[in-house]
Amino acid sequence: MNSNDKALANDSTIYNYKLVKRLNHSYLYTMFFALLFLLALIANLLEDRALHYMLCFPAILVLQILIAKLYLRTARYGFKNEWKLHYGMLWLGLIPTSYASVNVVRKVQVHVLIGGLFIIGILYPWLSTMNLLNLLFAHFWIILPRLVVILRFRKYDKNGLFKISRRDTSCYLA
């Protein structure tokens, strides 16, 4: 832990938890994902597939939300008031509204990743190659920023808590 993280941990507490790491949602990182979206859109516009490309994103978002809700219900973590739909470039989809276990958030995102790939794989025989690639791109474009944040917090997996806001993602430890 560097000196900035130590000073941050001393100044920030929730009950008996201390802030150990904060990741700011940088403008550069957000613009990188927006640029990826626009480049793929331009490539699809040049091939007259823009409508299919644009329809992939809401379809994948609904699929990811359904998988996350299904996992939260079956794993008995509950989600009625604790997980809400969030529209943001880096955290798009169902996310915890208050403090949530790093372990639970990681498990939900891994199940969304694998479940989405499984369902896209099932659709393989009925989709054209470009539609399949667009679905895969949309799936990874939505979930990749979340997975990067979760990987950066992997050492706090056992007893850490996430707090996700529009400007940053914070991790607290007991």
Domain interval for residue 163: 3-173
More confident residue, 50 or 114: 114
Backbone angles phi, psi at 129, to 5 degrees: -60, -40
Of 16, 10, 30, 15, nearest in space to 169 by CA:
30
Q: Tens digits of per-residue pLDDT, 69-94?
A: 899 888 876 555 688 888 877 788 88
Provide the whole-model pTM. 0.81
Cα–Cα distance, 129 to 20 (Å, whole number): 45
Mean pLDDT of 29-52: 84
Collapsing DSSP to helix, strand or coil, 22 comes out as: strand
Q: Tens digits of per-residue pLDDT, 31-40?
A: 888 888 888 8
> So what's the pLDDT on residue 5?
63
How many CB atoms neighbour CB 47 within 10 A?
Answer: 10
Residue recorded with tokens 């707090």: 163
Count CA within 13 A, CB hemisphere, residue 21.
18
Q: How confident is the model at residue 3 (pLDDT cuts 50, 70, 90)?
A: low
Strand partners, 17: 14
Q: Tens digits of per-residue pLDDT, 90-126?
A: 788 888 888 888 888 889 999 999 999 999 999 989 9
Collapsing DSSP to helix, strand or coil, 123 comes out as: coil
Mean pLDDT of 19-36: 83
Number of folded domains that form the chain: 1
> So what's the pLDDT on residue 83?
84
Do strands 100-101 and 161-164 pair parallel, antiparallel, or not at all (unpaired)?
antiparallel
Q: Which of 2-11, 40-49, 56-65, 144-153 has the lowest mean pLDDT?
A: 2-11
For CA atoms 156, 110, 56, 37, give the dihedral sign. positive
